[in-house]
A and B are shown apart, each in its own frame.
Chain A
Amino acid sequence: MKPPVKRAIGHFRVLVDHALRLREPSPEHILQRMVMPLCADLRQVLEEGTRNDAWEVLEGFSQECQRIARVERS
């Protein structure tokens, strides 16, 4: 897995983790520590990556979504 792909999935994971916290993080924290890094990753994948890289990002995001689904069911 290429570094920008791995980072994009990782930053999405950080975002998901914050959504599951028992207390709410500040909007600034969400923006600076999750959304902006994720936007940079996605930009890099679109500008320098392949279609397969983009697909891997989506697969990684989907795996994180399944993690949330497991929490919702329990």
Chain B
Amino acid sequence: MPEFKETNATDLTEIYVDTTPGGMSFEIPEVGIAEFLVLLARSLAVRQVRLSFQDNGRYTELTCTTDTLADLLRDFTSHLADPSLIVEFDHATVYTGGGGCFSLAAALGPEEKAEIANTVLQAFGVTLYLQREPFSVVLRDGKAEVYT
């Protein structure tokens, strides 16, 4: 049975954060994708970020640092929900099926996964302290369902 917790989250659609073998997976509302990717880059303490996507059939690749990622994403907002987007960090890769559905491939320990999940959830107005894996969190209608 999931554990229900009241949150102060406002205007949330559904958000999912899961641990997976070899990474994590996420469902993020489209309006929050840029913020999510910046948070991920900061949490992973990466130096360089490489974004690639298809634009009208043409393959486009861009590189930046974590510090300049937010500015870069602002210029390419329309591609952030595209299934062709791939975001490569120093030692991690983010794949997406589009529409905010992400899979993070990275060698992370349970503590690191919990820290990333807590950071992402906090950005959407929810404070949870996840400490072990596997876990699965669903934010829906201002409530967090936690499966462990």
Report A's interface with B, CB cutoff 8 A: 3, 6-7, 10-11, 13-14, 17-18, 20-23, 29, 32-34, 36-37, 40, 67-68, 70-71
Instruction: Give A37 to B82 CA distance when docked, in angstroms.
Output: 10
- Asked if B136 is at the interface (CB within 8 A of a chain A CB), the reply is yes
Residues of A within 8 A of B102 (CB): 14
Q: How far is the CA of A23 from the CA of B54 in the complex (A)?
A: 31
Residue in chain A with minimal CB distance to B97? A33
Whether the pair A14, B18 counts as a contact (CB closer than 8 A) is no
Which of A3, A23, A37, A70 lies in contact with B97, CB distance below 8 A?
A37
A20 to chain B, nearest CB (A): 6
**Is residue B108 within 8 Å, beta carbon to beta carbon, of the partner chain?**
no
Chain A residue with minimal CB distance to B104?
A17
A7 and B84 in contact, given A23-B136, A23-B147 (Cβ under 8 angstroms) = yes
Checking A6, A17, A40, A68 against B103 with a beta-carbon cut-off of 8 angstroms, the contacting residue is: A17
Q: B residues within 8 A CB of A10?
A: 86, 93, 95-96, 103
Q: Given contacts A6-B86, A17-B103, is CB(A71)–CB(B21) below 8 Å?
A: yes
In the bound assembly, the distance between CA atoms of A71 and B134 in angstroms comes to: 11
Contact with A along B1-40 (1 / 0, CB 8 A): 0000000000000000010111101000000000000000
Q: Complex Cα distance A68/B22, Å?
A: 10
Whether B98 is near chain A, meaning CB under 8 Å from some CB there, is yes
Q: Does B142 contact A (CB under 8 A)?
A: no
How many angstroms between the C-alpha atoms of A14 and B59 in the bound complex? 21
B18 touches which of A11, A13, A21 (Cβ 8 Å): A21
Instruction: Indicate if the CB atoms of B93 and A21 lie closer than 8 Å.
Output: no
Q: Does B110 have its Cβ within 8 Å of any Cβ on chain A?
A: no
How close is B83's CB to chain A, nearest CB, in angstroms?
A: 4
Q: In the complex the two chains form, is A11's CB within 8 Å of B97's CB?
A: yes
CB atoms of A14 and B147 under 8 A apart: no
The answer to whether B25 and A21 have CB atoms under 8 Å apart is yes
Q: Does B52 contact A (CB under 8 A)?
A: yes
Which A residues are CB-close (under 8 A) to B59? 3
Nearest A residue to B82 by beta-carbon distance? A37
- The answer to whether A22 touches B18, judged by C-beta atoms less than 8 angstroms apart, is yes
